[in-house]
């Protein structure tokens, strides 16, 4: 067997586990050590940064212009106003992620605002508007004096958010900003490699993110907490699900074999908002029971808490409805998607792997 055919056999039927498909300066995930490094910083160090500072870090050297976090804040404010004029009211009948997909698709490749700025700016504008329109309320115009996270919350409620709420959302967006070659980022890079353009690349990424095995899980985490209801039901409910062969949302990860470092950062963020609340205590009890059961039921696989578990609690605490959680994830991950697209475009090499034909020979 040649090395090539051994590699092909190793990948067949799998999810390309352990295949290195790109070189990047953007982020690194060490699944055994439970570490996420973003451009030379451990995630825990970035947790206190604003989202604009993380954008500066990720975009630095990737664009023609050198931009500080302050420049980025100003440019995003202008782009949010442009995006507000592009809201499509008829999307109110769709789910928030479908509405986001449709409205991003309407952005023109001839848009004069830098596309990476427009893509980041548009997600909160379209998302907040959709949430409000679905509630029968009018969209609220962005306030250019606010930072990106603050304006997202303002467009959602019409109330200037508290410092603690802004901090929690900044921490969330920063925490999910980039994560190696996850499914959606890989999708973005494949599309970018065809020179289809940044909007096409990030829309493809959003489509990949939307699935429950990737970014579609945090809403279902809250559904699970609600369905369990009270402490007395926890073990029976979780055991029943596992016995039926179902998956517990918010647990397990393709790369992490230890606890996802993002779960701790987000647990701290939500605790700062709702310290000692019944919701957090209950979630902690469900988490502990789930981990204990998963260890017994799936002894061959280390299944730990992933980012989605505490995402659900953070986003609920700052006021997002659960059917919009994937959009808020996209608002943060758009930082990474745009940076990867810019990096891929600079490389200028078409991504075109091969497949292993296992069909019948020609008759």
Q: Which residues are catalytic?
A: 253, 308
Q: With respect to ligand ACO, which residue has the nearer C-beta, 69 or 242?
A: 242
The reply on whether position 124 binds ligand ACO by CB under 6 A is no
Q: Which phi and psi (to 5°) does residue 29 adopt?
A: -115, 125
Beta carbons of 155 and 139 less than 8 angstroms apart: yes
Beta carbons of 338 and 57 less than 8 angstroms apart: no
The reply on whether position 308 binds ligand ACO by CB under 6 A is yes
The reply on whether position 206 binds ligand ACO by CB under 6 A is no
Q: Which of 28, 92, 239, 254 binds ligand ACO (CB under 6 A)?
A: 254
Residues 4-23 that bind ligand ACO (CB under 6 A): 15
Kindly state the smallest distance separating residue 203's Cβ from ligand ACO, in Å.
Answer: 19
Kindly state the smallest distance separating residue 234's Cβ from ligand ACO, in Å.
Answer: 15
Q: Which of 251, 310, 325, 337 binds ligand ACO (CB under 6 A)?
A: 251
Crossing angle of helices 307-317 and 261-273, in 10° steps, is 20
Given the rule CB under 6 A, which of 22-30, 122-130, 247-255, 265-273 is the region that contacts ligand ACO? 247-255
Q: Which residues are CB-neighbours of 191 under 8 A, at least 6 positions away? A: 200, 201, 204, 205
Cα atoms in the 13 Å half-sphere on the side-chain side of 198: 27
Structure tokens at 242: 């596992």
DSSP 251: B
The reply on whether position 214 binds ligand ACO by CB under 6 A is yes
Strands, E, within the chain: which ranges?
Answer: 27-30, 35-38, 41-42
Dist CA 203 CA 169 (whole Å) = 23
* Nearest residue to ligand ACO, scored by beta-carbon proximity: 252
Given the rule CB under 6 A, which of 126-134, 193-201, 250-258, 339-347 is the region that contacts ligand ACO? 250-258
| Neighbour-count burial of 246, counting CB atoms closer than 10 A to its CB (0-12 exposed, 13-18 middle, 19+ buried) | exposed
The reply on whether position 307 binds ligand ACO by CB under 6 A is yes
Placement of tokens 């809201």 in the chain: 87
Quick one: CA dihedral 8, 183, 179, 25, positive or negative? Answer: positive
Q: With respect to ligand ACO, which residue has the nearer C-beta, 83 or 176?
A: 176
Strands 41-42 and 35-38: antiparallel
Quickly list DSSP for 197-231: -HHHHHHHHHHHHTSTTTTS-HHHHHHHHHHH-SG
The reply on whether position 249 binds ligand ACO by CB under 6 A is yes
Kindly state the smallest distance separating residue 248's Cβ from ligand ACO, in Å.
Answer: 4
Q: Which of 114, 204, 252, 336 binds ligand ACO (CB under 6 A)?
A: 252
Kindly state the smallest distance separating residue 336's Cβ from ligand ACO, in Å.
Answer: 12
Q: With respect to ligand ACO, which residue has the nearer C-beta, 301 or 346?
A: 301
Dist CA 92 CA 353 (whole Å) = 39
The reply on whether position 306 binds ligand ACO by CB under 6 A is yes
Q: Which of 33, 93, 138, 213 binds ligand ACO (CB under 6 A)?
A: 213
Q: With respect to ligand ACO, which residue has the nearer C-beta, 31 or 144?
A: 31
The reply on whether position 217 binds ligand ACO by CB under 6 A is yes
Given the rule CB under 6 A, which of 29-37, 111-119, 210-218, 312-320 is the region that contacts ligand ACO? 210-218
Given the rule CB under 6 A, which of 38-46, 72-80, 266-274, 295-303 is the region that contacts ligand ACO? 295-303
Q: With respect to ligand ACO, which residue has the nearer C-beta, 67 or 222?
A: 222
DSSP 246: P
Q: How big is the chain, counted in residues? A: 363
Instruction: From 268, 30, 284, select the one nearest 171 (Cα to Cα).
Output: 268
Q: Which of 10, 106, 194, 301 binds ligand ACO (CB under 6 A)?
A: 301
Q: Which phi and psi (to 5°) does residue 35 adopt?
A: -120, 140
* Interface contacts to ligand ACO, rule CB under 6 A: 15, 213-215, 217, 247-254, 298, 301, 303, 306-308
């Amino acid at each position: 067997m040649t090395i090539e055919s051994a590699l092909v056999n190793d990948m067949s039927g799998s999810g390309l586990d352990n295949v290195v498909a790109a070189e990047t300066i953007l982020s690194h995930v060490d699944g055994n050590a439970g570490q996420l490094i973003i451009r030379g910083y451990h995630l825990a160090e970035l947790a206190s940064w604003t989202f604009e500072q993380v954008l500066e870090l990720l975009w630095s050297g990737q664009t023609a212009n050198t931009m500080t976090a302050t420049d980025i804040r100003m440019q995003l404010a202008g782009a949010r106003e442009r995006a507000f004029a592009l809201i499509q009211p008829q999307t109110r009948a769709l789910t928030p992620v479908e509405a986001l997909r449709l409205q991003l698709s309407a952005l023109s490749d001839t848009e004069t605002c830098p596309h990476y700025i427009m893509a980041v700016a548009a997600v909160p504008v379209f998302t907040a508007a959709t949430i409000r329109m679905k509630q029968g309320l009018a969209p609220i115009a962005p306030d250019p004096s606010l930072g990106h996270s603050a304006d997202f919350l303002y467009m959602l409620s019409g109330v200037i958010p508290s410092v603690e709420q802004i901090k929690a959302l900044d921490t969330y967006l920063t925490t999910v900003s980039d994560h190696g070659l996850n499914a959606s980022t890989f999708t973005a890079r494949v599309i970018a490699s065809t020179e289809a353009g940044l909007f096409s690349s990030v829309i493809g990424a959003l489509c990949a993110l939307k699935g429950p095995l990737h970014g579609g899980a945090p809403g279902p985490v809250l559904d699970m907490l609600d369905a369990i209801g009270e402490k007395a039901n926890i073990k029976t409910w979780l055991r029943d699900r596992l016995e039926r062969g179902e998956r517990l949302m918010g647990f397990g990860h393709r790369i992490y074999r230890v606890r996802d470092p993002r779960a701790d950062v987000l647990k701290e963020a939500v605790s700062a908002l709702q310290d000692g609340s019944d919701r957090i205590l209950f979630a902690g009890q469900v988490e502990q029971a789930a981990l204990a059961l998963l260890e017994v039921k799936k002894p061959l696989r280390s299944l730990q808490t992933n980012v989605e578990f505490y995402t659900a609690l953070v986003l609920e605490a700052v006021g997002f409805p659960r059917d919009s959680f994937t959009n808020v994830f996209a608002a943060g991950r758009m930082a990474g998607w745009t940076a990867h697209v810019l990096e891929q475009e600079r490389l200028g090499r078409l991504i075109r792997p091969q497949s292993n034909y296992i069909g019948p020979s020609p008759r």
